[in-house]
A and B are shown apart, each in its own frame.
Chain A
Amino acid sequence: QSALTQPASVSGSPGQSITISCTGTSSDVGGYNYVSWYQQHPGKAPKLMIYDVSNRPSGVSNRFSGSKSGNTASLTISGLQAEDEADYYCSSYTSSSTLVFGTGTKVTVL
C-alpha cells in the first residue's frame, strides 16, 4: 500500500492559519471517514490531534480543525503558535482493512 501524500513542509507566521493536505484515493481517504491527524515533536511519540476527519480529542486546542473533500483530507491550524512547530502525519483506514500513514509534513513557525 502506498503512503498518503502530504507536502514536505508548510510554514507560517505566528497568528496566521496554515493548512496541510493529505491526498489518498477512493480506497482510503475518499472511501471512509476514518482519517486521523497526529502531531509529533522531535524525540517524542505522536499525539492524536484529530480523528474521524474532524473530531478533536479532549484536551486538543480548538485551533486545530480537520476536513475532507473527495480523496483529500486537510488539517488547519489557526492562530499559529511557536509550540505548533512539529511534524504532522495523517492516517486513514483502507478498503483492504489496513491502515496507512501519510508521508509527513514539517510545520515551521517563522
Chain B
Amino acid sequence: QLQLQESGPGPVKPSETLSLTCTVSGGSISRSSYYWGWIRQPPGKGLEWIGSIYYSGSTYYNPSLKSRVTISVDTSKNQFSLKLSSVTAADTAVYYCARESSSSSFDYWGQGTLVTVSS
C-alpha cells in the first residue's frame, strides 16, 4: 500500500523559506505515469494546488505561487520536496503531498502537516 508522509522543521518566521519533504513508501517515486504534488489548505478554508513534479524533474506550478515555489525530487531517497520563499501569515496552512495520476487526480495523500508562519 502506497504511503506518503510529510515532514518539516516546524514554525516559520515571516520572510523566511518554508521547506517540506514528502517521503514515499510502498512504491517507487520513479514509476512512470505519475506526478507528485503539493496541495495546501489554510485553516477553515479550501484546497489550493501548489505544484507538481515528475520523477524526471519536470515541474508545473500554480501561477499565483510560481515566483516563490520550487519543487524538487530525490529518486534515490524516494522523496520530493517543497520550498516556498518569502512567506507571510497567509501561507499558514496544512500542507499535503499527494500522488497525481495521468488524469490529474490525486489518488494517494499524506496525512498533512500544519505549518504556521509567525514571528
Indicate with 1 or 0, residue by residue over B20-61, a CB within 8 angstroms of chain A CB atoms. 000000000000000001010000001111001000000011
**List of B residues within 8 angstroms of A97 by Cβ:** 60
**List of B residues within 8 angstroms of A89 by Cβ:** 46-47
Q: What number of residue pairs across chains A and B have CB atoms under 8 A from each other?
A: 67
A1 to B37 CA separation, bound complex (whole angstroms):
18
Whether the Cβ atoms of A36 and B103 lie closer than 8 Å is yes
A52 to B103 CA separation, bound complex (whole angstroms):
6
Range for the number of chain B residues in contact with chain A = 20 to 34
B96 at interface, CB cutoff 8 A: yes
Residue of A nearest to B106 (CB): A48
Interface size of A in residues (CB-CB distance below 8 Å): 26
**List of A residues within 8 angstroms of B109 by Cβ:** 45-47
Write the nearest CB–CB distance from B27 to chain A, whole angstroms: 16
A79 to B103 CA separation, bound complex (whole angstroms):
28
Whether the Cβ atoms of A46 and B47 lie closer than 8 Å is yes
B86 at interface, CB cutoff 8 A: no
Write the nearest CB–CB distance from A5 to chain B, whole angstroms: 11
Whether the Cβ atoms of A98 and B105 lie closer than 8 Å is no
Residue of A nearest to B45 (CB): A104
Whether the Cβ atoms of A93 and B47 lie closer than 8 Å is no
B interface residues (Cβ-Cβ under 8 A, vs A): 37, 39, 46-49, 52, 60-64, 96, 101, 103-107, 109-112
